[in-house]
């Protein structure tokens, strides 16, 4: 997988908004145990699992200074912090919730 900054500069394949109130920690736990409560997160897991070498997703919670990156054969969620992430992703965020950027 290319580095995150390069990934974020590319145009995403899709951007989906979810009204989910889940925290990053809750999402990471749901990915870890394999039981996702949000239909968009289930779709992300299926996409990444079906295309582990080509597909990844970035989840941005409005107002956060971090993102979750989903990748791998057994889709894994990792939390990454960074000020530049907010600058790049906040331009897409006009509602409170989760923004899911997929890349293939």
pLDDT in tens, 35-91: 899 999 999 999 999 998 889 999 999 888 888 999 999 999 999 887 676 676 666
Of residues 34 and 8, more confidently modeled: 34
Show the domain range for 93: 4-103
- For 19-59, the DSSP string reads -----HHHHHHHHHHT---SHHHHHHHHHHHHSTTT-EEEE
What is the pLDDT, as a whole number, of residue 64? 85
What is the pLDDT, as a whole number, of residue 48? 93
User: Could you give the number of structural domains in the chain?
Assistant: 1
Residue-wise pLDDT tens digits, 73-87: 999 999 988 767 667
**Cβ neighbours for 27, distance < 8 A, ≥ 6 positions apart:** 41, 59, 68, 77
**pTM, 2 dp:** 0.84
What is the pLDDT, as a whole number, of residue 85? 66
Residue 32 has pLDDT above 80, yes or no: yes
What is the pLDDT, as a whole number, of residue 3? 67
Alpha-carbon radius of gyration of the chain = 12
């Amino acid at each position: 997988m290319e580095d995150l900054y390069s990934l974020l500069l590319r145009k995403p394949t899709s951007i989906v908004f979810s009204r989910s109130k889940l925290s990053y920690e809750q999402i990471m736990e749901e990915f870890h145990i394999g039981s996702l409560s949000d239909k968009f997160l289930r779709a992300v897991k299926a996409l990444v699992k079906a295309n582990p070498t080509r597909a990844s997703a970035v989840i941005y919670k409005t107002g956060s200074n971090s993102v979750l990156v989903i990748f791998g054969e057994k889709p894994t969620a990792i939390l990454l912090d960074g000020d530049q992430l907010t600058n790049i992703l906040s331009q897409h965020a006009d509602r409170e919730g989760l923004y899911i950027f997929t890349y293939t």
